[in-house]
Amino acid sequence: MSDSRPPVAIGHVRLHCKDLEAGKRFYVALGMRPCDSVSVPGVYYVLELRGGTHLLLVQSPDEMMEILDPTFDLMVDDIGAFRDHLEAHHIACTEVTLHQLIGHRRFFVTDPDGRRIAIHSSHTEGRSV
């Protein structure tokens, strides 16, 4: 990895909303860019921030909170090379799989406190971020 930037970025941050439409209007007014092609109105909205981070506004019942993935994940430009890098440094990784719902390739690592962290392929698709 010859790039001097850190190899990881926050990929997604998830917020649960009581009113998805009001949440979308608020965060768009703050300057976030709607990603309507991957949003599902009434279920979730995807908004993009500078740097390519996606804010996921989700409506789900409180009892679901314990079984959902962490409220953030990481993204990298080259998921295969990054996974190889981690394994070379003795960090256990799951296999890379395609997350059908969001269209990202991803794998998981577990931190020393037992938290499962998702590492996703970049979603910027060459767009300026």
3-state secondary structure 41-68: CCCEEEEECCCCCEEEEECCCHHHHHHC
pLDDT tier at 64, thresholds 50, 70, 90: low
- Please enumerate in sequence order all residues whose Cβ is within 8 A of that of 16, keeping only pairs 6 or more positions apart, or say none: 58, 59, 60, 65
Is-above-0.75 flag for pTM?
Answer: no
d(CA 1, CA 125): 20
Q: Which domains does the chain have, with CATH numbers?
A: 9-121 (3.10.180.10)
Which residue did the predictor score with more confidence, 128 or 24? 24
70-112: pLDDT as tens digits: 677 888 888 999 899 889 999 999 999 998 877 789 999 887 6
Residues in the chain: 129
